[in-house]
């Protein structure tokens, strides 16, 4: 079982989103990014054995033997390249000219940014019959309603991951993390990347996770500075093993990563605080420059096959927006990792992080201020 915690979440998602307004707000440079590409005419009966694909994805984020099984099933050869962060793949895709990549895996907001710049091919739904496997909720995501230019691959949220035997009670609020009971002091970690470091304070104060209002941000900073006193560490990568060792009792965690802790200790539980949280989605896009668009669509269709798509659930313990795939999961696995059973409706209650444009600078400043306090 591949358990390389996708570092992408930490660095990449951080980046999070890029909403339409951000394109206008980002000032100078590339604000002219508007025109979405018009769809190419694709040939549904193209000879796929004559097409070859280059797919860029995070390491260990899909089955390793996928190129082999895909070629056997569909006939196209696949080369997989890897990227570590959204920024890395964005740099390749926006550098101009043909990147040579046909299909790329990027987080939702980045897919949106690519679409705004006309760099991705609109999805030809008729070439992807397996789209029918997606939950209805998964076709109505804020960064791309109707999946016009991206297809969701995995999704999830952020919450509290805790050792019920060490906390002695069931935390249900971000305040359990930010102003913990005295006996939990120094047994708490929070995520370190800007957006998720800010999230608990933002939500506990009833603000948007995308707020750029200076008065609200001042309150958030105040709350975080106070919370730091009872913190063991800011930690993006080893928080779940700290729970396992008992070094920490309650940590802020991404749902899938909390599952890695549960693997080693079944006293570990995950909950989404009552004040709400975020929703993140990783997606697949077809590049406008691709000369193998029919095969690219066939590739996405192949991923959406419940047998293939369920791999991500079974192996990296992430949720996938594929109804048929989720229903095929062994109930024993869901019993072991209850957050896999989070319903799409509940997931969609989470706020989608959007790109903050210049606001990102304010966020990183607050994070520095909290660290330096």
Partner 1 sequence: MKRSLERLTLLGPGLGYLTVLMVVPLALVLSYTIFQRGRFGGLVYEPTTENFLRAVDPLYLDVLVTSVEIAGVTTVLALLLGFPTAYVIARLPGKWKTIALVGLVLPFWTNFLIRTYAWIVLLSPAGMINDALTGWGLIDEPLQLLYTKPAIVAGLLYAYLPLMVLPLFAALEKQDDQLLEAAANLGARPAKAFLTVTLPLTLPAVITGCVFVFVPSIGNFVVPELLGGGQTAMVGNLIRDQFLKARDWPFGATLALILVAMLMLLLMLQAWSARRLTGDKNA
Task: State both tokens at 336.
Answer: 């072991």
Listed ranges 118-126, 249-257, 262-270, 354-362: which one lies at the site for partner 1 (CB under 8 A):
354-362
Neighbours of 343 (CB within 10 A): 12
In whole angstroms, the minimum distance from the beta carbon of 218 to partner 1 comes to 14
CA-derived radius of gyration, the chain: 21
Task: Provide the 3-class DSSP secondary structure of residue 27.
Answer: coil
Q: Is 220 in the site for partner 1 (CB under 8 A)?
A: no
User: Binding string to partner 1 for residues 179 to 198, with x set by CB under 8 A, is what?
Assistant: -------x-----xxx----
Burial of 258 per CB tally in 10 Å (0-12, 13-18, 19+): buried
Q: Which is nearer to partner 1, 262 or 370 (CB)?
A: 370
Determine the Cα angle at 94 with ends 120 and 198, to 5°.
95
Half-sphere exposure of 159 (CA within 13 A, CB side): 28
3-state class (DSSP) for residue 245: helix
Q: How far apart are CA 268 and CA 254, in angstroms?
A: 13
Matching residue, tokens 């309603």: 145
When the beta carbons of 27 and 206 are compared against partner 1, the nearer one is 27
Decide: is 367 part of the binding site for partner 1 (CB under 8 A): yes
Asked if residue 226 binds partner 1 (CB under 8 A), the reply is: no
* Choices 13-21, 249-257, 258-266, 335-343; region in contact with partner 1 by CB under 8 A: 13-21
State which of positions 292-351 bind partner 1 (CB under 8 A).
none
By CB under 8 A, the residues from 252 to 281 that bind partner 1 are: none
Among candidate residues 157, 341, 181, the one with its CA nearest the CA of residue 255:
157
Binding partner 1 (rule: CB under 8 A), the pick from 17, 55, 90, 119 is 90
Q: Which of 235, 255, 278, 351 binds partner 1 (CB under 8 A)?
A: 235
Which segments of 157-228 are extended strands (E)? Answer: 158-163, 188-190
Contact 15, 143 (CB under 8 A): no
Q: How far is the CB of 114 from partner 1 (least distance, A)?
A: 10
Buried b (16+ CB within 10 A) or exposed e, 127-161: bbebbebbbebbbebbbbeebebbbbbbbbbbbbb
Smallest gap, in angstroms, from Cβ of residue 11 to partner 1?
A: 6
Residues 170, 273 contacting (CB under 8 angstroms): no
Which of the stretches 11-19, 97-105, 125-133, 139-147 binds partner 1 when contact is defined by CB under 8 A?
11-19
d(CA 6, CA 25): 30
Cα–Cα distance, 340 to 334 (Å, whole number): 6
In the complex with partner 1, which residue's Cβ is closer, 28 or 331? 28
Any contact of residue 113 with partner 1 (CB under 8 A)?
A: yes
The residue within the footprint of partner 1, chosen from 37, 233, 334, 341 (CB under 8 A), is 233
Please give the size of the binding site for partner 1, defined by CB under 8 A: 43
Q: Which of 177, 232, 251, 295 touches partner 1 (CB under 8 A)? A: 232
Chain contacts with partner 1 (rule: CB under 8 A): 11, 14-15, 18, 22, 26-30, 85-87, 90-91, 94, 110, 113, 186, 192-194, 228, 231-235, 245-247, 355, 357, 360-361, 363-365, 367-369, 371-372
């Amino acid at each position: 079982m591949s358990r390389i915690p996708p570092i992408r979440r930490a660095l990449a998602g951080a980046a999070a989103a890029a909403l339409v307004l951000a394109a206008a707000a980002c000032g100078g440079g590339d604000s002219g990014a508007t025109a979405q590409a018009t769809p190419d005419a694709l040939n549904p009966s193209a000879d796929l054995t004559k097409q070859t694909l280059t797919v860029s994805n995070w390491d260990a984020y899909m089955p390793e033997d996928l190129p082999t099984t895909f070629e056997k099933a569909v006939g196209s050869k696949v080369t997989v390249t890897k990227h570590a962060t959204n920024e890395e793949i964005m740099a390749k895709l926006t550098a101009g000219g043909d990147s040579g990549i046909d299909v790329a895996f990027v987080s939702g907001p980045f897919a949106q940014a690519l679409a705004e710049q006309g760099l991705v091919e609109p999805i030809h739904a008729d070439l992807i019959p397996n789209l029918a496997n997606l939950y209805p909720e998964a076709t109505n995501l804020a960064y791309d309603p109707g999946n016009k230019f991206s297809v969701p691959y995995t999704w999830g949220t952020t919450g509290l991951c805790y050792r019920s035997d060490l906390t002695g009670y069931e935390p249900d609020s971000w305040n359990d993390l930010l102003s913990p009971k005295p006996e939990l002091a120094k047994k708490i970690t929070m995520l370190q990347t800007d957006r998720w470091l800010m999230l608990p304070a933002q939500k506990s104060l009833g603000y948007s996770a995308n707020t750029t209002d200076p008065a609200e941000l001042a309150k958030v900073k105040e709350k975080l500075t106070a919370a730091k006193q009872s913190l063991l560490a800011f930690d993006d990568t080893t928080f779940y093993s700290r729970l396992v060792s008992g070094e920490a009792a309650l940590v802020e965690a991404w749902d899938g990563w909390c599952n890695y802790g549960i693997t080693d200790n079944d006293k570990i539980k995950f909950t989404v605080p009552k004040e709400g949280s975020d929703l993140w989605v990783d997606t697949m896009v077809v590049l406008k420059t691709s000369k193998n668009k029919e095969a690219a669509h066939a590739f996405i269709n192949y991923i959406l096959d419940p047998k293939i798509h369920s791999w991500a659930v079974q192996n990296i313990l992430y949720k996938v927006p594929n109804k048929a795939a989720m229903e095929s999961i062994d109930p024993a696995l869901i019993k072991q990792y209850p957050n896999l059973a989070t319903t799409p409706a509940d997931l969609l209650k989470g706020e989608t992080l959007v790109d903050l444009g210049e606001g990102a600078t304010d966020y990183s400043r607050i994070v520095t201020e909290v660290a330096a306090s």
